[in-house]
Each structure stands twice: as C-alpha cells, then as structure tokens.
Amino acid sequence: MKSNRRVLLWVISVLAVIVALYFVLPFIVERNQTAFDAAENSEGDDDEDNTLTHHSALSVELSEAAQEMAAIKSQKLMVSFFTPEMRAVAVVLPTQDMRLARSRCTELEMTQRLAQVNEQGMNKELARLKTLQQATGSVASKEVHFAQTNLTQAQAEVESKQQLVKNCHAEIRHQWPQPIADWVIKGSDEFNLLMAREHTLLKLTLPVNQSLNQKVSTIRWQQNNQPDTVGQAQLVAAAFAADPVLSGETWYFLNKTAHLREGSQLQVWVPNSDTALSGVIIPYQSVIWYAGQPWAYLQLDKERFQRISLIDGIESVAGVFLQHGIYPGDEIVTTGAQTLLSEEFKWQIHDEDDDDD
C-alpha cells in the first residue's frame, strides 16, 4: 500500500514538473529575448555615443583662467571681398647687369663727345686756314690739305663712336623691354632709384599654361617664411623670354613699397578674375595643421571652442579666404590655437581611458 502511494506521488511530481515547464518556459524565453534586445540596444547606444564623441572631438572647453594662462586671444571677423588669385613665384632682380650696361654706354658716350669736340676743333682750324689763304695767300695749299685730312679723320672717328653707342643701346634694348631699356640708356630717375635700392624690379614667373589677365596692373607679394612682410608691385612690361626652368610666362613688376634683398624669392598672388567674392579672411596666425589639412578654432562662448576645417579655403597673401563654415561676426582664435588642439586631444585620451575602465 505504501509502495503504491510512493509511485503515485512520483508520477504526480513528474507531471507537475512537465506542466510547469510547459507554461513557464515561454516566459523565460521571452524574458531572455528582451534582455538580448536590451543588450543590443545598449550596444547601439554605445555606438551612437561613440559617434557623438567623434563629432564633439572637434570642440574643447577651457576655463577663462586657463585661457589667460595660455595667452589665448580671439578677434571678431569682418566681411572681406576677395578677387580670386593664382599663386606664382618672383625673384628680386640684381641691379648689376643694368649698372654695368649703363657704365659701358656712358663710357662710350664720353668718347663720342670727345670725338665730336675734336671734330669741331679740326673744322675751325680748316676754316681759319682757308680764310688766311684767300685773304693773304700766306698759307700754303699743303697746310689746307693737311687740315682737311685731319677733319676727315675726326669725322670718321665721330661716326665710329656714334656707332659704338648705338650698338650699346641696341644691346640694352635686346636685353630689356621698354621702358626699362630707356631707364638704363638715359640714366633716368627710376634707374637711379633702382641703383639706390629704394625701388626694386621683380621678375614674375607664372605657372605653366597660365597667362596674365589683361586687366592686371598690380600684384601682391610676400617674402618666403615671413608672412608679415608683404607689399605690392606695379606692372612694367612682359619679359622677352619664358623662364628656362619653370617654362612659364615672365613679366617685370616694379616694387616701390619696401626694401628687398636682391635675389630674394617671393611668393606672389596674381589676380585671375574680375569678380570679387564675399567672405572672411582667416589670418595665417590662426591656422594650424592637423591630418594634412588646415584648421582654425572658433570661440563659441567664454569657455567653448570649435575646430573648423579650412580645406575649402583659398590661400591669399593676407590669409585663407573662406565663404562657408566661418562667417563675419564669428570670433576666431588668433593666438593659442595650438594649445587648444593639445587640450582637445588630451580630453580625447581621457575619454578613451574612461571607456576602457
């Protein structure tokens, strides 16, 4: 009897377990699926957070005290009008060739004047002898013939000297275009200013397959590695030959704005359009380089800064011209941008360490 009861209880227990599994198992599966979905959503949120972190990595916060310590300064941008330009190179021409050419011609001109004076003396002597011969007959004919021969030789000497002077002038005109050739030949005021280095002559070489706009009369130049040393130069004339190395058009421009060392290499911006664009100029002291492209920091408020790419900007002598991304009225960091870049990456490293934890 007891054995039958035990068997009955065992059967009832097995049936109870089966019934429990039948009704409870779906709830367990559903709960596990919910937990799995939640985990996936959590991972998605993490990815989204990473995306946000990536975007926010272009900004940095710095307290006003830290800004003062790092000497970070900003300035408000004004609207700027920019005429598209192409970059070219120029060299400050040495004056030695012009000086030597002028000296050579001056020396020949002096010998020509001496020959002319000698001719005039011979001409007067011949006239005097002829007058005496006709008036008194006291002068022999051979003296008159001798004077005539001397005059003929003097005239030939004058013609020879004149030809040498003409040849000298022709060489100068073959080497230099007008009006530069006339400056050298005449020893003009402009020539003297060049010799005194108060003015300098620039030889501009354009990029290959580029031509100078017919309306261009002024270019802007900048000394290499000296962005603050800038100036303007006025068109003088086209050079006779293209640059033998760069194969581009060459032009002469006259610089009157600053003293430049002979032989100096200059960066030059040449207008290549008649239409002015509206935007802002980002000064070069605001530009930093990272990942192969230029950037600048905008000051969003007292403590927040945003890094903006300048890759679409156009370089000019005054800075990077930009039409989009930065606008008039924005505050651009002019001093301390490199410090902000360091701070930005310091926070990125800190955030990555927190994620690892």
DSSP-assigned states of every residue in 304-341:
EEEEEE-TT-EE-SSEEEESSSS-TT-EEEEE-HHHHH
The tokens of 3 are what?
Answer: 């054995």
> What is the reported pTM?
0.63
**Coil, strand, or helix at residue 154?**
helix
Q: Which candidate, 274, 258, 294, places its Cα nearest to that of 92?
A: 258
Query: Cα separation of 47 and 64, whole Å?
Result: 33
Residue appearing with tokens 């050419």: 101
What is the topology classification, in CATH, of domain 60-83+277-352? 2.40.420
- Contact between residue 203 and residue 197 where contact means Cβ atoms under 8 Å apart: no
Q: Which candidate, 225, 318, 257, 243, places its Cα nearest to that of 91?
A: 243
The pLDDT score that the predictor gives to residue 59 is 85
Give pLDDT tens digits along the chain (357 positions).
Answer: 545 566 566 656 656 656 555 554 454 444 444 444 444 444 444 443 333 322 334 889 989 999 999 899 999 999 999 888 888 999 999 999 999 999 999 999 999 999 999 989 988 888 887 777 777 766 678 787 888 888 889 899 999 999 999 999 999 999 999 999 999 999 999 999 999 999 999 999 999 888 998 889 999 998 887 766 789 999 999 999 877 777 889 999 999 987 889 999 999 999 988 788 999 999 999 999 999 999 999 999 999 999 999 999 988 878 899 999 899 999 999 999 999 999 888 765 555 555 555
Q: Which candidate, 87, 86, 82, places its Cα nearest to that of 276?
A: 82
The pLDDT score that the predictor gives to residue 139 is 66
Assign domain 86-93+197-271 one CATH number from 3.90.10.10, 1.50.10.20, 2.40.30.170, 2.40.50.140.
2.40.30.170
The tokens of 316 are what?
Answer: 């000019």
